[in-house]
């Protein structure tokens, strides 16, 4: 379950930091890629040299590397991670996380993390029992963080009580169980289209559009992370994906995309039509570059491209689901609902160019999902990966 997962291991300053070394070893052994982020006081308990040797990556602790001035981006780290584990989490770090006190790299990374966060508290029993710690832990739970409860036993103070950080083996099991529970699309085959299509005019020119493919790739990655086998039929885009279980089929024109979709869809449980397909293509391809002086002003006759979503809607069988997108500039709701019916879709996801931050090229999107049974579910402006999660949660 942990193979290939990107995990941030946050270490704060407590005696239990020595156990983080075993935790790191176990995570790496399980196939995870681990980036250690340690607080300044964490380094009093365990050295970065040990941690970087075991993780195979330099340990991050400060906002900058002192001699080179290189900035360590907590935002990039937060986006990279599939999970963040803070073990040990001291009373002080817990308080800072609960209240957004961003005075070290671990806390800024926590505040930027988009991935699920797991917190393994470790402290003396009286600190653990204090109303302030209890309140902070409740706050963290209310943010959706997972608390890996400390065990009872002998503590660093030699007192016996609750506050011992959970054993590394148990933390690894907890994470594995979590990732297993996320595999709600395991064994499903999913077809996704993404990006624009290019319809060739001559060897150097085409008809295309501004689609970056970001939304379709974010959906493909979300679906693959949940255990599905993804066929991603992608138009020309500059982005790539490294998530396993995604078979990327690169195409250029709507006709090529249509052909690949017709091949793949019969074996799929779900199709998500995210591509911005050119509705028209030049009727004829001119195989030498059209010359300005010689050829005058060309008239390009267009023919209709196939409607891929509609043709999959026609061959859709019971048990298969088909989702479309609608990018509209006006009469958004009625246009979207009309497309839902016309193309025999189960859901349509509307994004409007009227909304700032929605649509082509941006890293964010704002959607409303319409279902064939009259459902209407609006969402706020979010990153495209968070939007992908909302879409899949809704469909499931
Ligand atoms: N679509 C498709 N094949 C096409 C055009 C669109 O599969 N030739 C899919 C898109 O991927 C999207 C949905 O149909 O999921 C709606 O696309 P959109 O461009 O909004 O709609 P059109 O059918 O092109 O309608 P209009 O031009 O009237 O907006």
The predicted pLDDT at position 332 comes to 93
Do residues 45 and 157 share a domain? yes
pLDDT (mean) for 251-273: 98
Same domain, residue pair 75 and 169: yes
Query: 223 CA distance to ligand 1 centroid (A)?
Result: 22
Q: What's residue 352's pLDDT?
A: 79
pLDDT higher than threshold 90 for residue 294 = no
For ligand 1, atom 3, the nearest C-alpha belongs to: 307
Give the rounded distance of the alpha carbon of 360 from its chain centre: 18
Sign of CA dihedral 393, 394, 395, 396: positive
Contacts with 292 (C-beta within 8 Å, 6 or more apart), sequence order: none
Position 68 scores a pLDDT of: 65
**Of 133, 157, 181, which marks where a domain is finished?**
181
| CATH number, position 44 | 3.40.50.1950
What are phi and psi for residue 311, nearest 5 degrees? -70, -30
Per the domain annotation, does 307 fall within a domain? yes
Q: Probe ligand 1: pick from 262, 325, 370, max atoms within 8 Å of CB?
A: 325
- Cβ-contact 162, 152 below 8 angstroms: yes
Res 67: pLDDT: 65
Residue of 278, 307, 328 with the most ligand 1 atoms within 8 Å of its CB, for mutation: 307
Same structural domain for residues 175 and 200?
no
**Whether residue 326 has its Cβ less than 6 Å from ligand 1:** yes
Same domain, 125 and 243: no
For the entire predicted model, the pTM comes to: 0.72
Of 181, 216, 241, the one marking the end of a domain is: 181
pLDDT of residue 160: 84
* Residue 162 and residue 198 in one domain: no
**Residues 207 and 174 occupy one common structural domain:** no
State how far the Cα of 48 lies from the Cα of 29, in Å rounded to an integer: 19
The number of domains in the chain is: 2
Ligand 1 neighbour 107 (Cβ under 6 A)? no
Q: Which atom of ligand 1 is nearest to the CA of 278?
A: 8
Q: Is there a domain that residue 1 lies in?
A: no
Burial class of residue 236, CB neighbours in 10 A (0-12, 13-18, 19+):
middle
Residues ≥6 apart with Cβ < 8 Å to 200: 206, 252, 253, 281, 282, 285
Rounded distance, CA 150 to CA 171, Å? Answer: 10
Q: Best of 256, 260, 262, 279 to mutate for ligand 1, by most ligand atoms within 8 A of CB?
A: 279
- Based on the fold, state whether residues 389 and 363 are members of the same structural domain: yes
Q: From the CA of 197, how far away is ligand 1's center (Å)?
A: 12
Å from CA of 320 to ligand 1 middle: 20
- Are 156 and 62 contained in the same domain? yes
Co-location of 156 and 242 in the same domain: no
Provide the domain limits for residue 216: 189-395
Among 160, 181, 202, which residue terminates a domain? 181
pLDDT one-digit tens code per residue, 62-121: 876 666 667 667 778 888 899 999 999 999 999 999 999 999 999 999 999 989 999 999
**In the predicted model, what is the mean pLDDT of residues 368-396?**
91
CATH number for the domain spanning 376: value is 3.40.50.10300
pLDDT at position 146 over 90: yes
pLDDT tens readout for residues 215-227: 999 999 999 989 9
Q: Is pLDDT of 360 > 90?
A: no
Is 159 domain-assigned? Answer: yes
Residue 54 Rama label (left phi>0; alpha psi -120 to 50; beta): alpha
Task: Compute the radius of gyration of the chain from its Cα atoms.
Answer: 25
Ligand 1 close to Cβ of residue 307 (< 6 A): yes
Average pLDDT over residues 235-255: 94
Distance CA 208, CA 361 (A): 14
Q: Is the domain of 251 the same as that of 120?
A: no
Q: Do 201 and 171 reside in the same domain of the chain?
A: no
| Pair 319, 336: CB distance under 8 Å | no
Ligand 1 binding pocket includes 324 (Cβ within 6 Å) = yes
In this structure, the answer to whether residues 172 and 217 fall within a common structural domain is no
Q: What phi, psi does 236 have (nearest 5°)?
A: -65, 115
Which of 203-207, 266-270, 299-303, 349-353 is the least confident region? 349-353
360 lines ligand 1 (CB under 6 A): no
Mean pLDDT on 23-31: 97
pLDDT tens digits for 30-73?
999 999 999 999 999 999 999 999 999 999 988 766 666 676 67
Q: For ligand 1, is residue 352 a contact (CB within 6 Å)?
A: no
Which of 130-139 are b and which e, b meaning 16 or more Cβ less than 10 Å from the residue's Cβ?
eeebeebbee
Output the average pLDDT for the chain. 92
Residue 383 belongs to a domain: yes
């Amino acid at each position: 379950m942990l193979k290939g997962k990107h995990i941030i291991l946050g270490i704060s300053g407590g005696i239990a930091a020595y156990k983080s070394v075993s935790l790191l070893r176990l995570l790496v052994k399980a196939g995870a890629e681990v980036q250690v982020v340690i607080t300044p006081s964490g380094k009093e308990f365990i050295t970065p040299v040990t941690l970087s040797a075991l993780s195979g990556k330099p340990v991050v602790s400060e906002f900058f590397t002192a001699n080179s001035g290189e900035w360590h981006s907590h935002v990039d780290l937060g986006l990279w991670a599939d999970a963040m584990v803070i073990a040990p989490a001291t009373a002080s770090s817990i308080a800072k996380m609960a209240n957004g006190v961003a005075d070290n790299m671990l806390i800024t990374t926590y505040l930027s993390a988009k991935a699920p966060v797991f917190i393994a508290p470790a402290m003396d029993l009286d600190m653990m029992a204090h109303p302030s710690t209890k309140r902070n832990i409740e706050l963290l739970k209310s943010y959706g963080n997972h608390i890996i409860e400390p065990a009872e036993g002998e503590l660093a103070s030699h007192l016996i009580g609750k506050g011992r950080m959970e054993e590394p083996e148990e933390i690894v099991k907890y994470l594995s169980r979590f990732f297993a529970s996320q595999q709600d699309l395991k064994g499903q085959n999913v077809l996704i289209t993404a990006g624009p299509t290019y319809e060739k005019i001559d060897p150097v020119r085409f008809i295309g559009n501004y689609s970056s493919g970001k939304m379709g790739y974010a959906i493909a990655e979300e679906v693959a992370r949940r255990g599905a086998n993804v066929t991603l039929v992608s138009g020309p885009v500059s982005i790539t994906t490294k998530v396993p279980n995604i078979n990327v089929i690169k195409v250029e024109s709507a006709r090529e995309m249509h052909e690949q979709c017709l091949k793949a869809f019969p074996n799929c449980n779900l199709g998500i039509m995210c591509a911005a397909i050119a509705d028209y293509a030049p009727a004829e391809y001119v195989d030498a570059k059209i010359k300005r002086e010689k050829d005058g002003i060309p008239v390009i006759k267009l023919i209709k491209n196939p409607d891929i979503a509609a043709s999959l809607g026609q061959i859709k069988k019971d048990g298969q689901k088909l989702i479309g997108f609608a990018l509209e500039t006006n009469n958004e709701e009625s246009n979207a609902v009309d497309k839902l019916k016309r193309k025999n879709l189960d859901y349509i996801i509307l994004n409007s160019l009227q909304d700032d931050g929605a649509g082509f090229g941006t890293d964010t999107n704002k959607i409303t999902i319409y279902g064939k049974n009259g459902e209407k579910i609006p969402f706020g402006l979010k990153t495209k990966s968070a939007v992908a999660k909302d879409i899949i949660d809704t469909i499931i």
